[in-house]
Amino acid sequence: MKIVIVNDYANIKGVSSAVAIESARALAQAGESVIFFCAVGPIDEKLIHKNITVISMDQKDIREDSCENSSLWNRKAYVSLGRLLGSVDKNNTIVHFHSFVNILSSAALRVVMDRGFKCVLTLHDYLIACPSGSFYDCRNESCCELEGLSAACIRSNCENRGYMHKLWKCSRQAIQMKKGRVPAGVDAFISISEYSERIIRPYLPDSARTYRVKSPIGIQNEGPERVAESKIFTFVDRLGAENGADIFAQAASLAGVEATFIGDGPMRKQLEEMLPGALFSGSLRPENEIRLLRESRVMVFPTLLNETHALAVLKAKALGIPSIVSSGSSAEELVESGEDGFIVERGSIDDLVQKLKVMGSDSLVRRMGRETHRRYWEAPWTPENHVIELMRVYNDVLGGI
């Protein structure tokens, strides 16, 4: 089987790119032949493997280029990916999309359909349903319950970058649905949590095939970390209001606990002023993120978003680090409150302060750390398990040819 993985980026820019790259590497390590097709480099070192061929169009990231019209319909992506598909056997090739909206556009999916290839799309976000991809109103700092691309949605000025940018995103989604035939023309979808699938399911075709596949997390089982010996409460996410970064900062200050922030974002300077004694690592490669996370007593995930996949919480579980997560996101699926962590009310500083203080108990945090580690390793999200589950999907989808 030939596997074509399609992603906007060949390096790690967000969770979807990290998963795409880790997936390609895991498949290659298992002996599968992988082509990684992308719009933008540089090429991540994990894609350097004898079983991986990287094809990059070397285009610009629209977030760095003032001209965004090419990402509404990227003609070059249509032609370049079409040329690649002309060199492989469609009866023995699967095309797996991770991210495409920022640069490749739905033109990349449409050429796969036009050439008669089978395609799979991992639903890392809500971009096939919501123009902004998150069902979140940045102006009101609250989750949005409007139907994606409805009249009320189009009228809603929910974007930080202004209403004209919102209209541009609505145009992008309309083109994606009509000209790109996404999601209607996609053969199968991989959802990454029960929570996100409930939200996005009404936007999928009635006949849509959906699968659940564990993301690849490259952490070895070395036993639970000695969390009771640490005093550090760690936040791992983008440093933005929607991710609850300021909520954690305020709660940490009130609770009087040591804080570490792994990640970067627009609130960094403000957070540094709020917590001058905290450690701010900036964005890290996954292996360095895990190295710093190992030093934690507790991982804190106070997001305000409808998170599709709390990958940071899974990493903490693999290390035996208990988590405090907010309600109303996929993180709820990963924690049993009071057993291997706590679930706090979304947006509640008081609730978070109380749980931070409770986690000051060495005996409690030690017990929770052991329990979360045990539960994770009963069914781990390893690269090997990821490949087994993913190949089942590929073989099932290709069987329909």
Is there a single domain that holds both residue 288 and residue 205? no
The SS3 assignment for 263 reads strand
- Burial-class residue 177 by CB neighbours within 10 Å (0-12, 13-18, 19+): middle
In this prediction, residue 71 carries a pLDDT of 75
Task: State whether residue 125 is helix, strand or coil.
Answer: coil
**Strands (DSSP E) along 229-364, which ranges?**
232-236, 258-262, 279-282, 298-301, 323-326, 341-344
Q: Which residues of 149-162 are buried (b: 16+ CB within 10 A; e: fewer)?
A: beeebbebebbeee
Rounded-to-integer distance, Cα 323 and Cα 315, Å? 10
Instruction: Let me know if residue 147 belongs to a domain.
Output: no
Question: How high does pLDDT run on average in the chain?
Answer: 95
Specify whether 195 is located in the same domain as 273.
no
- pLDDT, tens digit, for every residue of 337-363? 999 999 999 999 999 999 999 999 999
Q: How many domains does the chain have?
A: 2
221 within domain boundaries: no
C-alpha 373/C-alpha 309 separation (Å) is: 19
Angle between helices 311-319 and 362-378 (to 10 degrees): 110
Q: Coil, strand, or helix at residue 7? A: strand
40 and 187 within one domain = yes
Tens of pLDDT along 22-36? 999 999 999 999 999
- Select from 238, 9, 19, 4 the least CA-distant residue to 122: 19
Same domain flag for 290 and 389: no
Chain centroid to Cα 361, Å, comes to 32
* DSSP-assigned beta bridge partners for residue 323: 299, 341
pLDDT band (50, 70, 90) for residue 66: very low
Do 391 and 366 lie in one domain? The reply is: no
Of 231, 287, 286, nearest to 260 by C-alpha is 231
Residues 267 and 346 in one domain: yes
Type of residue found at 178: K
Instruction: Tell me the pLDDT band of 62, cut-offs 50, 70 and 90.
Output: low
Domain holding 186, by residue range, is: 2-128+182-216+382-398
Quick one: 117 and 21 in the same domain?
yes
| The pLDDT of residue 63 | 62
- CB contact at 8 A, 342 and 355: yes
DSSP state of 280: E
Q: Is residue 140 part of a domain?
A: no
